[in-house]
């Protein structure tokens, strides 16, 4: 059973993307979800437990299955993620595992790298066939340029990558995205007083 709805996860404008929550515990209390990426599978359980010990256990946690070293982006990897009680969802570029993610009761975010018009068309087709809970457009700066293409897509969308300023976040949100993901802790502060 899904622990949170996708709308609940994306109710704040910026999704922190990080590996170690400890240096940012106070700032993370203002987020509505986080994405973990960049570490190794051997440290994953310990890092997830940090959220509990830092009183951040209310946060839905997404794990970017493609960007955790040693974690495979296949059904076995999804099964392992589902065995970790702190994990609410999985982020991936691999649409073929969306069904397995859904079967395990986890939320899914399909990342789409949009480099040209063909990538936009393919991304829309793949999202339509795989039915993730949400899509993430990368790089984030492209979200306003493809807003019209995604206007008929019923899936919630976020955008990330090269999002460096508050103006970047504002532009992403104005394009119809419900949130921006970022590794920049300065941008996470937007969640404290979202306008």
Domains recognised in the chain with CATH numbers: 6-191 (3.20.20.70)
Q: What is the pLDDT along the chain (195 residues), one digit of tens a residue?
A: 345 799 999 999 999 999 999 999 999 999 999 999 999 999 999 999 999 999 999 999 999 999 999 999 999 999 999 999 999 999 999 999 999 999 999 999 999 999 999 999 999 999 999 999 999 999 999 999 999 999 989 999 999 999 999 999 999 999 999 999 999 999 999 999 876
Neighbouring C-alpha atoms within 13 Å toward the C-beta of 80: 15
- Count of residues for the chain? 195
């Amino acid at each position: 059973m899904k622990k949170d709805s996708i709308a609940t996860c994306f109710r704040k404008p910026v999704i922190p993307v990080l590996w170690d929550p400890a240096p940012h515990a106070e700032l993370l209390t203002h987020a509505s979800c986080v994405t973990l990426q960049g570490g190794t599978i051997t440290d994953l359980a310990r890092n997830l437990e940090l959220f509990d010990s830092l009183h951040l256990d209310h946060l839905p946690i997404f794990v970017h299955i493609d960007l955790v070293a040693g974690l495979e982006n296949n059904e076995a990897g999804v099964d392992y993620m589902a065995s970790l009680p702190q994990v609410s969802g999985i982020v991936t570029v691999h649409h073929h595992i969306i069904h397995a993610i859904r079967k395990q009761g986890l939320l899914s975010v399909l990342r789409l790298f949009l480099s040209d018009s063909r990538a936009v068309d393919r991304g829309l087709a793949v999202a339509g066939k795989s039915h993730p809970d949400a899509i993430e457009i990368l790089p984030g700066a492209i979200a306003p340029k493809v807003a019209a293409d995604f206007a008929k897509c019923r899936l919630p969308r976020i955008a990330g990558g090269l999002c460096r300023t508050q103006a970047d976040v504002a532009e992403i949100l104005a394009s119809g995205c419900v949130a921006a993901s970022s590794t920049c802790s300065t941008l996470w502060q937007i969640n404290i007083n979202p306008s």
